[in-house]
Structure 1
Amino acid sequence: MSGAPAAKPILLALLMAGLAPVAVHAADQAPAANTPAVKQIADVTRGLQPQPGFIDVWRDTDKGRVLLAVGALEQPFLLVSSLPYALGSNDVGLDRAQPGEVRMVHFEKHGARLFLVQENTNYAAVSPDRDERAAVRESFSNSVLWSGDILASDNERQLVDFSSFLLADRHGIAARLAGARQGAYAVDGARSAVLAAEAKAFPDNVELESLLTFAGPGQAEYVRQVGADAASLSMRQRISMVRLPQSEAGSAWHPRVYHPYSGGFDTSYFDFATPLSHSIDVHWQVRHKLEKTDPSAAVSPVKKPIVYYVDRGAPEPVRSALIAGASWWATAFEKAGFKDAYRVELLPEGVDALDIRYNVITWVHRATRGWSYGNALTDPRTGQIVRGAVTLGSQRVRQDILIAEALLAPYGKSTPAEQQQMAEKMALARLRQLAAHEVGHTLGFAHNFAASRMGNGSVMDYPHPIVKLNARGEVDLSNAYGVGVGPWDDYIVNYIYGDFGSGAQELAALAKLRGEARAAGMLYSSDQDDRAPGASHPDGLLWDFGPDTLKTWDQLGAVRQRALQTFSVDVLPDARQIGELEARLVPVFLLQRYQGEALARLIGGGDFDYTSAGDVKASIAKAGIRVTPADVQRQALSRLTDSLRAEYLALPANVLDVLTPPAAGYERNREYFATRMDSVFDAFSIAEAGAAQTAGFLLDAGRINRVAWQHARDAKQPGVQEVLAQLLQKTWKREAVPANVIGGEAVQLAANWVVADSLLNLLDGGKLHPQVTAEVRQSMRELVQWLQKNPDKGVTADSRKQAADRISAYLADERSIKLRALPVVPPGAPI
C-alpha cells in the first residue's frame, strides 16, 4: 500500500499530455486467448521484391506501394526531394532534376505507429553534456512530417507502408505554382501513384519515386504555355533518404570555420554551448570531404576524388563543352596540393542521374530561356557536401548565338564561312565558362561579381562577352570569353579545401592566404550587395568587364554604334522568318545596359571589404566605406544622362526600314520590345524602354539617399540637386534635337515622359528620407516653373504644358494623379 499514492501524480501527468490510460482491471492484465501474435516482416513481405540497403525496401508493384523496414530509431539522416520529370517553365521554376529542401530527420516509434520527425537544426548545443544538449533540444520545436501504422516487427525493425508519404506534395510544387500566380493546385490522389518499380536501396541511400498529378484551374499563362492539359499537371517526385556522413577512424578531415572573405558558402546554426565570450552564431564552410593519402606531402593523391558526371541527354557539341569547362577546376585543386582529386566524366549508361551518390550536371529544357544554377546538398552539422547538383538551361546557349549574330550580321552573300561559325564558337566558349561556374557553386563557392576587375579573374563572376572593334572598325568577338579558372578561383579552392592541419596552425595559414589575396588586389563582392538596382559597391557588378567602368562604357558605345549601322537582314539565317529581326535588335540596342548599371554604381557609390575584426586589426583588410571620388561620380553622371538623349535612343534609317511584323504563325513574346501599334514595330516604345533602363538605375531611392548623405558629409561630392539638374538638362530642358536625328523630337519627348514618371514614382515610393523628399520636390517645382516659362511650340509645347500640369497637380495633392508604371524593358539576363 505504500506505493499507492504515487498513482495520482502519474495519472495527472498522463491527462495533461493527452495520454490518459483506460481503466485497468485484474482480468485485463493477462493477454486474451484470441489476441493475434505480432506479425513478422517475412510473413508480410512474402512474394515482394526486396531491396536491402540503408533502409530495407520492399516493392509491392501489384498494389502500388513501397514498404520500409526501419531499424535505427532516433538516428538522424537526410531527406531531400527532387523532380525526375518536371514542368519545363523557367518562370515557375520546377525544373527537371531540381533538388528541394534538405531536411535532417529521424524515425520515432510511439505505440503501434512510426513517426518521421524533422529535427530543428537551427539550434543546438555541441557539448559532451547530455543534459546540456537536451535543454536546447527541448527548447525548440521539431516537426512531425508523417506517421503510419506498423505492419510488422522483426529484430528491432519496424515495417511500414510509406506510400502515403510519397503521394503527398513533399517538394512544394503547389506552393511554387501559387507563388508564380498560376492558381491553386492540389494533388489528385486518383490520378497519382507510387512508382514501386522505381524504388531502390543502397548501403547509404534510398531512392523512392511517385507520379503526382496536380489539379487546378489551368488558366494562367505559364501553365498554359507548357502543360499538355494545364488543368492537369503530372510530374514525378523523388524522395532520397541519405545516411549522414560518418566520422572515420584516422580521418584528418574536420569542419572549417567560415570567413567572410573565403569566397565560399556557409552553413550555420546557433550553438548554446559556446563559451560566454564567444558568439553562439556558428558558421562552417561548405565543402566536399577531400583528404590526401599523404598529409605530409605538399602534393598528394587523395583517398576519394571528387567526380562530376555530365547528363547523357546533352547533345554534341554541348556535351564536350560541358565536360571541358567543368574540368577547369582540376588545375586549381592541383595547385592546392591535391593530385588527381577532381575530374568530370560522362554519366555511365544506365546510371540513375538522380541517385544521390552522384554529382551530376543536368541539361534541362524549358519553354523559354532561363537561369542555370548549382546546388550543394550539405550536412547541416558540418557543412560537408553530400552531393553536387547542377542545372543548365538549354536555351541560354541559343541566346548567345543570337547576340553574336546580331552583332556580326554574318549571313550576307559574301560573308566568309568563318564569320558565320563565330557565333557558335562564342556560344560554346560561354557554355564552357557556365559549366565551370555552376559546378563551382556545388563545390561550395559563391559569386564574386568584383572579379571582372582582374580580367578573367574568376569563373564565379557573371561574364559579359568582351566585344570590341578591330583595326578595320568591325565588331570583334574572337576572344569574347576567357578560358580556364582565374586567380580568384585558385585562391578559393586553396582556402576552402587546402590542408593546413588544424587548430591555431590552420587559422594562421588561412589568415596568411587572406593577406596574400588582399595584397594581390583580389576584390570580393557577392549577391547580397550587388543585385539590387540601387546597390552601391562600384566593383560588384553583374555582366560587366574591364578594370575601368568609364572606359568600358565608351568601348561598348562604339561597338553599339557600329552594330546599329550594320544591322540588316544579314543578322538572320535564311530560313528564319523576317519578324525575328526585332528580337535581334534588342541586345544590340541595349548593348550597354549592364555597363549603364555600372555607371550608376559610381553615383553615390562606395566600396567596402568582407572581413573580420581580426583582419582589420592585423591590417589585412579595412573597415568602413570608401566613397567614389567626386570627379568619377560626375563623369559617370554625364555619360549616364547622355543615354537619355534622342541622339542615343533614336534608330538609324537602315534599322527602321527593315523591321517587319512577325509572319503568320509567329508572334512577339517577352524577348521583343513592347508595341502599342498593333503588329507594327513601335519606335516610341523602344525609346521608352531605353530611357526606363537608365532612369530605373539612376533614380533608385537608395542611391538618391546616399547621394544626399555623401554631399552632406562632403560638399565637394555631387548632391541631389546637382544630379537632378543634370538629368533634367539632358531631357526636358535640353536644346533642340538636331534635324539629322530621325524622329528626334518625338523620341526625346518619349524619353522625357519616362523621366517625369520616374521622378513621380520616386516621390511616391515612400523610401526617401523626408529631407531628401523635400529636395526632390523642390527640383520638380523648379521644373514646373521652367516648363511654364519655356512653352516652346508644336508637340513639344503640348508635352511641356501637360507635364507642368501633371507635376503641379501631384505636388499639390498626391492622390489626384494616378501614376503610370514604367515601361517594360525586355529581359537581358541570363546570357
Structure 2
Amino acid sequence: MRSVLLAGAVALAVALSVPAVAEDALIEVAASQEDGKIMLTLPAAGPDGIMARYLYVAQIETGVGSAATGVDRGAPLRTGIIRFRRMGKKVLAELENTTFIAPAGSAAQQASVANSFTNATLWVGDIEQSAGGKGVSFDFAPFLAMDHFGFAPQLGEGYALNEKFSLADPAKVKAFPENVEFSALLSFSSKKPTPELRNVSPSGGDVSLWVRHSLIALPDEPIAPRADPYNFAFSTYKYDFSAPLGRSMLVKLAERHRLEKVDPAAERSPVKEPIVYYVDGAAPEPVRQALIDGVGWWAEAFEDAGFIDAFRVDVLPPEIDPLDIRYNVVNWVNRATRGWSYGPSIVDPRTGEILKGSVMLGSLRVRQDILIFQALMGAGLTDSGLPDDPVAVALARIRQLGAHEVGHTLGLAHNFAASSQGRYSVMDYPAPRIELVDGKLTIADAYGVGVGEWDKFAIKYLYAARSDAEARAMVQEAQARGLRFVGDSDARGSDSANPHGSLWDDFADPVAELGRVMAVRQAALARFDANAVPEGQDLASLRRAFVPIWLLHRYQVESAAKALGGVVAPHALAGDQAAVEKVAGTDQRAALDALISAMSVEALEVPARLQPLLSYGPSTDYDYSTMIEVMPTAGGPVFDTLRATEIGAVHVLDSLLDPQRLNRLEMQSSGDAGTPSAHAVVTRLVEHADASARRGATGRRIATVIALDLARTAREGQLSRSIALQIDGQLARWADDLGKASGTGEEADWRRGLGALLSDSEKLSEAVKDKKLLPDVPPGMPI
C-alpha cells in the first residue's frame, strides 16, 4: 500500500515478557512485565541534539460508548512528526511545528522560519543507559500513560486523569521494520459525572480506555503536494514564508491517497498499488454487505478518472489489527445512544498524503432509520421484502452512508448542494425521499444508488490533475456543466445564507419542497397508530417513534428559511467568471408565506386521537437513550400535545428569527423594495400570532411562543440595534392592543396577561433569560 510500510506481521513470543520484535525493527525495544518498563534505544544525538524523527500517530483503541463525548473506538487522536532530543541526562519528546514553512527559501530563511515558531514539548524523561556515542536508552512507558489529548475536559467538567490507574502495557508492544506499536490504559474519575457518562460507566463516575501510539518511519519519497484553493477537499494548511511578494502565503494542501499510474502519461492506466478499504467484521449481516456495496461505489469514480482497478473493498480479516497504519478500515462503533458517523484520516502533515482512512460508523444509525420508517409505513412491513420494507430502505441508507464517510477519507469535503440538482453526490446529507402516490405514503425511492456526477468530478480533480492549471480547467468545465458546490461553512447553522446548500433537504426548490413535505407529514400523522412499533414492543415507545413524524419537516424548514436574506455566493478564484446573487424578492416572500404556514393551527395541532395513544406507560425515567429522544410530557405517561405545538413553533422561529438573517433582510430591503424587510417579517409574525390566538388553546400556545421568541430575539447581541428597537416598538404596540381586551374567558384573560408582560420591559427581560421559557426541540441529527 505504501513503500514505507512493509506487509506482514511478527507473531508474539511465547514469553509474556517479550513482545513482538522484528530482527530489523525500526526501533530497538525491550519491554518487561517484571517492572513495567518499555525501554527504547535510539541512535546517538546529532549536533542539534536530535536522536530520531518519526511520524507519530495516536488512536483510540477502546471507546467509552458515549456519543456525546466523541471518544469512540478507532478514532484518530493525533498525527504529527515527533522528534527525540537529548539534553544532558534527559530525553525530550517534541512535536514539530509543520504549519509554517519556506520550501523555496534559502537555508538561512528556512532556519529563520523554524526558529520563529514554537514546537511542543510533550514529555521529558530520564536517560537510564548511555552507550557512549552509540545511543541512549530510556523508559517510554511514562509518556504513553499521559493524557496528551485532553480526554479529561472532553469527558466533562470534573473529570481528571487517575494516574494510579493509568499505565502502558509492555505485553502489547509490537516492533516491526517500519513501525512500532504501543498501548496504554488511561483511567479518569469524576465525583459529578454527566448523565451521558453515568449511562455507560459501570461505577457511574469512572471511565477507562485504551490508547494506541504508533511511531512510524517517515516516507522516503513524500507525495507531491497539491493545492486546493476551492476547498473541495479536506486540506492541510500551511503558511509559506518563501512565497513571492504579492502572492498569498496561505497554502491549502489537498489531502489525498498516494495513487500512481503504471503509465503516468496515459489517459487510462492500471495503478501501481490500489487503494483498498476493509469493512469491520464486527458489522453484522446484512449491514456488512450493504457497507461493502456502498463503499465499493467509489471504484466507478476512479475508473471514470482514468485509474484502472484503483479501488477495492473487502472484509477485514480477523488477524489484522484495525488500528494498523497499513490498512484503511471502516470501523463499526457501538454507543449507548445514537450519534454521528465520521470519516477521519491519518495524514502526513508535511504533504497532505492520506496514510490511513479510519471511518467510524455508529451502529445505532441504522436502527434509528428503521424506527422512522416503521413509524411512517407501519412496522408490519419489516423484513417483508417489499419496496417499502423499513429494513431494506435502512440498508439503502447504510450503503450511502458507507460511501459518504469513505469519501471523506479519500479527501472529499461535504457538498450540500447535491440535493438541489438531483442527488449528484454522496457527499451531501440525504433526506429520505418520502412520497405520496395515490394518497398513500411510499419510501421505495428513499435514497439514491451509486456515486454521482460531482463525486466523479471531485475524484478526477483530486487524483488525476497533474498541475494546478489542469485542476482549474477541470473546475471551469464542471461549472460550465452547472455543477454546484456548497461546503460546511456555507450550509450549517441557522444563520447560513446560501439556499442551494442545506442539510437533509431535497429537490431544487426548497420552498415548494416544504409545501410537499408538509402534505407528506399530514398523511403520516393521519396514518400513525400502534402499528408504528413492532408487535410485542412496549407501547410507551410510541412516544419516541412519534417525534421524527411530528418534526418530519424540520430540515426542509431550515432549507426554506435560507431563501430569506438568501445569497448565492459561488466558490471562485480571481479571473473566474462568477457572480454573487441574492434571492429574488418574490422567492423570499414565498418562503415567508411557507414558514408562516408551517406555524398554523392546522400544522401544529396534534390530532386528538393520538393523545391517548401516546400516553401509554410506563414513563422513561430510567432509559436514558429514550429520555433524550422524546418530547417532555405533562406528567408521568400523559402526553402533552400542547407542548408538541410549542416545539413545532419554536423550531420554525429558530430559523426565521436568526439575527444574522434579519440583519441581511434589513440590508437587502434598503436597496430593493421587493425584498421583505425585517420589519415586514416581524409584522407578519405578530399578525399571525394575534389571529392564531383566536383559535383556541393550540393557537394561544403558538401566539405565546411567537411573542416570547420575538422578545428574546430583540435581546440577541448579534442583532442590529435598529432592528431590535423595531421589534420592541411592534411588541409595545401589540401589548397596548392586547391590554384593551374586554370580557372574561380564556382568550380575554390570556390577552390581558400577555399584554401586561410585554408592557413591562424589566419583567420581560427577566422572563426571556429563563432557558425553560421556551421548549428545547428534541434531537434530530443525525438521521
Q: TM-score scaled to structure 1, two decimals?
A: 0.88
- Partner of residue 26, structure 2: 54
User: Structure 1: how far apart are the matches of 2:688 and 2:613?
Assistant: 30
* 1:541-580 → structure 2 map (5 Å cutoff): 541-580=502-541
Task: Note if 1:106 corresponds to 2:83.
Answer: yes
- Whether the aligned pair in 2 keeps the contact of 1:791 and 1:800 (CA below 8 Å) is no
User: Structure 1: how far apart are the matches of 2:235 and 2:599?
Assistant: 42
User: Structure 2: how far apart are the matches of 1:48 and 1:172?
Assistant: 32
- Partner of residue 6, structure 2: none
- Partner of residue 715, structure 2: 764
* 1:780-799 → structure 2 map (5 Å cutoff): 780-790=731-741, 793-799=744-750
- Partner of residue 5, structure 2: none
- Partner of residue 655, structure 1: 610
Identify if the C-alpha distance between structure 1 residues 69 and 421 changes in structure 2 by more than 3 Å, giving closer, same or farther.
farther
Task: Note if 1:702 corresponds to 2:702.
Answer: no
User: Structure 2: how far apart are the matches of 1:267 and 1:58?
Assistant: 36
- Whether the aligned pair in 2 keeps the contact of 1:411 and 1:420 (CA below 8 Å) is no
- Partner of residue 780, structure 2: 828
Structure 1 gaps, min length 5: 1-44, 501-505, 738-744
Larger displacement relative to structure 2 (390-399 or 154-163)? 154-163
* Aligned mate of 2:428, from 461, 465, 473: 461
- Partner of residue 197, structure 2: 223
Deviation by residue 1:344-387 (Cα, 9 ceiling, x = unmatched): 11111211111112111100000000000011221222111111
| Equivalent AA in structure 2 for residue 341 of structure 1 | A
- Whether the aligned pair in 1 keeps the contact of 2:383 and 2:390 (CA below 8 Å) is no
CA apart distance, 1:340: 0.8
* Aligned mate of 1:277, from 234, 246, 268: 246
User: Structure 2: how far apart are the matches of 1:690 and 1:401?
Assistant: 23
CA apart distance, 1:802: 1.5
* Aligned mate of 1:199, from 173, 182, 200: 173
- Partner of residue 775, structure 1: 726
Identify if the C-alpha distance between structure 1 residues 550 and 166 changes in structure 2 by more than 3 Å, giving closer, same or farther.
same
- SS in structure 2 of the partner of residue 374 of structure 1: coil
- Partner of residue 673, structure 1: 631
Identify if the C-alpha distance between structure 1 residues 136 and 735 changes in structure 2 by more than 3 Å, giving closer, same or farther.
closer
Deviation by residue 1:12-35 (Cα, 9 ceiling, x = unmatched): xxxxxxxxxxxxxxxxxxxxxxxx
- Whether the aligned pair in 1 keeps the contact of 2:498 and 2:567 (CA below 8 Å) is yes
- Partner of residue 6, structure 1: none
- Partner of residue 687, structure 2: 729
- Whether the aligned pair in 1 keeps the contact of 2:340 and 2:362 (CA below 8 Å) is yes
- Partner of residue 26, structure 1: none
Deviation by residue 1:534-587 (Cα, 9 ceiling, x = unmatched): 211111100001111122112211211111111111111112100011111111
- Partner of residue 184, structure 2: 210
Task: Note if 1:642 corresponds to 2:615.
Answer: no
Identify if the C-alpha distance between structure 1 residues 370 and 735 changes in structure 2 by more than 3 Å, giving closer, same or farther.
closer
Deviation by residue 1:423-454 (Cα, 9 ceiling, x = unmatched): 00010000010000001111111001111111
| Equivalent AA in structure 1 for residue 687 of structure 2 | Q
User: Structure 2: how far apart are the matches of 1:215 and 1:736?
Assistant: 55
- Whether the aligned pair in 1 keeps the contact of 2:16 and 2:171 (CA below 8 Å) is no
| Equivalent AA in structure 2 for residue 185 of structure 1 | A
User: Structure 2: how far apart are the matches of 1:305 and 1:86?
Assistant: 30
User: Structure 1: how far apart are the matches of 2:782 and 2:75?
Assistant: 18
- Partner of residue 348, structure 2: 379
User: Structure 2: how far apart are the matches of 1:144 and 1:530?
Assistant: 38
* Aligned mate of 1:691, from 649, 663, 666: 649
CA apart distance, 1:818: 5.0
- Whether the aligned pair in 2 keeps the contact of 1:375 and 1:389 (CA below 8 Å) is yes
Task: Note if 1:510 corresponds to 2:510.
Answer: no
* Aligned mate of 2:302, from 333, 345, 355: 333
- Whether the aligned pair in 1 keeps the contact of 2:19 and 2:172 (CA below 8 Å) is no
- Partner of residue 753, structure 2: 802
User: Structure 2: how far apart are the matches of 1:691 and 1:734?
Assistant: 12
* 1:519-530 → structure 2 map (5 Å cutoff): 519-530=480-491
Larger displacement relative to structure 2 (674-683 or 530-539)? 674-683
* Aligned mate of 1:187, from 162, 165, 178: 162
- Partner of residue 64, structure 1: 36
Identify if the C-alpha distance between structure 1 residues 793 and 242 changes in structure 2 by more than 3 Å, giving closer, same or farther.
farther
- Whether the aligned pair in 2 keeps the contact of 1:644 and 1:731 (CA below 8 Å) is no
Identity of matched residues, %:
38
Larger displacement relative to structure 2 (576-585 or 215-224)? 215-224
Identify if the C-alpha distance between structure 1 residues 152 and 421 changes in structure 2 by more than 3 Å, giving closer, same or farther.
farther
- SS in structure 1 of the partner of residue 613 of structure 2: coil
- Partner of residue 81, structure 1: 58
User: Structure 1: how far apart are the matches of 2:98 and 2:686?
Assistant: 54
User: Structure 1: how far apart are the matches of 2:219 and 2:737?
Assistant: 71
- Partner of residue 433, structure 1: 400
* Aligned mate of 1:487, from 453, 456, 463: 453
Identify if the C-alpha distance between structure 1 residues 678 and 138 changes in structure 2 by more than 3 Å, giving closer, same or farther.
same
User: Structure 2: how far apart are the matches of 1:792 and 1:385?
Assistant: 73
Identify if the C-alpha distance between structure 1 residues 576 and 467 changes in structure 2 by more than 3 Å, giving closer, same or farther.
same
Identify if the C-alpha distance between structure 1 residues 142 and 612 changes in structure 2 by more than 3 Å, giving closer, same or farther.
same
* 1:162-311 → structure 2 map (5 Å cutoff): 162-178=140-156, 181=157, 183-189=158-164, 191-247=165-221, 254-260=224-230, 263-311=232-280
Task: Note if 1:598 corresponds to 2:554.
Answer: no
CA apart distance, 1:499: 4.3
Larger displacement relative to structure 2 (268-277 or 477-486)? 268-277
- Partner of residue 9, structure 2: none
- SS in structure 2 of the partner of residue 710 of structure 1: helix
- SS in structure 2 of the partner of residue 613 of structure 1: coil
CA apart distance, 1:819: 4.5
| Equivalent AA in structure 2 for residue 510 of structure 1 | A
| Equivalent AA in structure 2 for residue 273 of structure 1 | S
- Partner of residue 747, structure 1: 698
User: Structure 2: how far apart are the matches of 1:227 and 1:239?
Assistant: 24
Identify if the C-alpha distance between structure 1 residues 818 and 440 changes in structure 2 by more than 3 Å, giving closer, same or farther.
closer
- Partner of residue 111, structure 2: 134
Larger displacement relative to structure 2 (349-358 or 155-164)? 155-164
- SS in structure 2 of the partner of residue 715 of structure 1: coil
- SS in structure 2 of the partner of residue 208 of structure 1: strand
Deviation by residue 1:750-789 (Cα, 9 ceiling, x = unmatched): 1111111111111122211121222222221222133234
> Please, what is the CA RMSD of the aligned residues?
2.2
CA apart distance, 1:245: 2.5
User: Structure 2: how far apart are the matches of 1:130 and 1:296?
Assistant: 34
Identify if the C-alpha distance between structure 1 residues 652 and 726 changes in structure 2 by more than 3 Å, giving closer, same or farther.
same
Larger displacement relative to structure 2 (68-77 or 573-582)? 68-77
- Whether the aligned pair in 1 keeps the contact of 2:612 and 2:639 (CA below 8 Å) is no
Identify if the C-alpha distance between structure 1 residues 683 and 311 changes in structure 2 by more than 3 Å, giving closer, same or farther.
same
Identify if the C-alpha distance between structure 1 residues 759 and 306 changes in structure 2 by more than 3 Å, giving closer, same or farther.
same
- Partner of residue 318, structure 2: 349
- SS in structure 2 of the partner of residue 731 of structure 1: helix
Q: TM-score scaled to structure 2, two decimals?
A: 0.93
- Whether the aligned pair in 2 keeps the contact of 1:328 and 1:484 (CA below 8 Å) is yes
- Whether the aligned pair in 1 keeps the contact of 2:689 and 2:704 (CA below 8 Å) is no
User: Structure 1: how far apart are the matches of 2:778 and 2:721?
Assistant: 34
- Whether the aligned pair in 2 keeps the contact of 1:50 and 1:56 (CA below 8 Å) is no
User: Structure 1: how far apart are the matches of 2:204 and 2:540?
Assistant: 29
- Whether the aligned pair in 2 keeps the contact of 1:90 and 1:371 (CA below 8 Å) is yes
Identify if the C-alpha distance between structure 1 residues 148 and 417 changes in structure 2 by more than 3 Å, giving closer, same or farther.
closer
User: Structure 2: how far apart are the matches of 1:48 and 1:824?
Assistant: 56
- SS in structure 1 of the partner of residue 263 of structure 2: coil
CA apart distance, 1:324: 0.9
- SS in structure 2 of the partner of residue 93 of structure 1: coil
Larger displacement relative to structure 2 (363-372 or 753-762)? 753-762
- SS in structure 1 of the partner of residue 215 of structure 2: strand
Larger Rg: 1
Deviation by residue 1:452-508 (Cα, 9 ceiling, x = unmatched): 11111100000000110113x1111011000000000001000000143xxxxx233
Identify if the C-alpha distance between structure 1 residues 652 and 420 changes in structure 2 by more than 3 Å, giving closer, same or farther.
farther
- Partner of residue 415, structure 2: 448
* Aligned mate of 2:391, from 416, 424, 437: 424
CA apart distance, 1:260: 1.3
Identify if the C-alpha distance between structure 1 residues 50 and 459 changes in structure 2 by more than 3 Å, giving closer, same or farther.
closer
Task: Note if 1:158 corresponds to 2:136.
Answer: yes
| Equivalent AA in structure 1 for residue 136 of structure 2 | Q
Identify if the C-alpha distance between structure 1 residues 416 and 233 changes in structure 2 by more than 3 Å, giving closer, same or farther.
closer
Identify if the C-alpha distance between structure 1 residues 520 and 631 changes in structure 2 by more than 3 Å, giving closer, same or farther.
same
